[in-house]
Amino acid sequence: MRIATFNINGIKARLPRLLEWLEETRPAVACLQEIKTQDEGFPAEEFEKIGYKAIWHGQKSFNGVAILADGVEPVETMRGLPSLSDDDEPDEQSRYLEAEVNGVRIANLYLPNGNPQPGPKFDYKLRWMKRLRMRMHDLWQCETPAIVLGDYNVIPESKDTYSVRAMADDALTQPASRDAYMRLLGDGWTDALDTLNPRGGVWTYWDYQRGAWQRDHGFRIDHCLLSPELADRLISAGVDKEYRGREKASDHAPVWVEISD
Write out the residues near DNA by the rule CB under 7 A.
Answer: 7, 9-14, 34, 36-38, 41, 60-62, 112-113, 115-116, 121, 151, 153, 170, 172, 205, 207-210, 219, 221, 248, 251
Task: Phi first, then psi: give them for residue 39, nearest 5 degrees.
Answer: -55, -40
φ and ψ at residue 244, rounded to 5 degrees: -70, -25
Question: Is 130 within 8 Å of 84 (Cβ atoms)?
Answer: yes
Output 102 or 113, the one with its CB closest to DNA. Answer: 113
Comparing CB distances to DNA, the nearer of 57 and 105 is: 57
DSSP character string of 46-112? HHHHTTEEEEEE--SSS--EEEEEESS--EEEEESPPPSSTTSPPP-S--EEEEEETTEEEEEEE--
Crossing angle of helices 175-186 and 120-142, in 10° steps, is 0
Between 209 and 260, name the residue whose CB sits nearer to DNA. Answer: 209
Query: Closest separation between CB of residue 49 and DNA, Å?
Result: 19
Nearer Cβ to DNA, position 1 or 167? 167
Q: Nearest approach, Cβ of 38 to DNA (angstroms)?
A: 6
Q: What is the largest CA-CA distance in the chain?
A: 49
Give the nearest distance from C-beta 5 to DNA in angstroms. Answer: 12
* Nearest residue (CB) to DNA, 36 versus 105: 36
φ, ψ of residue 170 in degrees (nearest 5): -85, 145
Helices H / strands E in the chain, number of each: 6, 14
- Helical ranges in 106-244 per DSSP H: 120-142, 175-186, 192-196, 228-231
Q: How far is the CB of 250 from DNA (least distance, A)?
A: 8
Nearer to DNA, 60 or 137 (CB): 60
Residue 205 C-beta: closest distance to DNA, Å: 5
Measured from the CB of residue 170, what is the shortest distance to DNA in angstroms? 7
